[in-house]
Amino acid sequence: MPIFIIYDSEKVWKKAYTNFKDALEAVDIVIDEVNACAKKDGFYEVEEDRPAKMEEQISQKEAEKDSMGGVMVAWNELNKIGIFIMELTY
């Protein structure tokens, strides 16, 4: 049974998921929160200028993998952080 973890350049996130879709939804929630805070702080006004964005190509099988085997699913321009999901099997 696979499990999916989320990590970025600063940490491995605390929760693991049983499928890629649930992990992706968790990242999407964080991206929305980052953008809401940035908008509140006046960092941007136009939606196209959001500092954090989900990657357009987020299919687990099609996306390029990093050196650890994770798929980049989002980018946070404020902190220059890529967010990745990696499948682990046991």
Chain segment 15-71, per-residue pLDDT in tens: 999 999 999 999 999 999 999 999 998 888 887 788 999 986 555 555 567 777 788
Let me know: does 87 contact 20? Beta carbons within 8 Å: yes
pLDDT at 78: 87
CB 73 within 8 A of CB 27: yes
Interval 67-81 mean pLDDT: 87
CA gap 1, 37 in Å, rounded: 37
Amino acid present at 15 = K
What is the maximal distance between C-alpha atoms in the chain?
45
pTM: 0.83
Tokens 């929760």, located at residue? 15
Backbone φ and ψ of 42, nearest 5°: 80, 20
